[in-house]
Amino acid sequence: MVYEKIRQQMMDTLPFVRLCGITIDAIGPGTATCSMPDAAQLHNHLHTPHAGALFTLAETASGAAMAGGFAELILEMRPVAKESRIQYQKVAKGATRAEGRVPGDLAALKAALKQEGKLAFPVHVDIYDAQDTLAAQVQVEWYLSAKR
């Protein structure tokens, strides 16, 4: 139930994500899956998904995985994407999906957040195309701090 609330909150408050046609399909404890349709307005000069659209898909999955990992705390936190890196592996063809995950021990990360009042940590995302080809790998460094 809490994951569905997070998913709905994100979909309601991220207009650019909606503009790209991205949907948050699932959120779990430190995981998320998002998808993006194959649409002409999201293509590049090769008629394949634009790099910026793929990055938006990955960043959305990373944020959803981060929020899922800290579900019971996220409404009291201010999350900010601090840094990101994308490595394109193959040209994506067709619709795409991104699978995000918070690596490591969520309990230890939550304990560090509680002790320090802030936390920086990575979220890893793999992007697959319609043929299940790994198209890109992304790492987003998130920063969480208590709302002021």
- Per-residue pLDDT at 147: 82
- Per-residue pLDDT at 146: 86
pTM over 0.75? The answer is yes
Structural domain boundaries enclosing 49: 2-146
Tell me which residues of the chain have a pLDDT lower than 70: none
72 vs 148: CA distance, rounded Å? 18
- Per-residue pLDDT at 1: 85
Say which CATH number the domain at 85 has: 3.10.129.10
Angle among Cα 127, 52, 34 to the nearest 5 degrees reads 35
Render 85-145 in DSSP notation, one character per residue: EEEE-S---SSEEEEEE--S-HHHHHHHHHHHSEEEEEEEEEEE-TT--EEEEEEEEEEEE
In the chain, the number of structural domains is 1
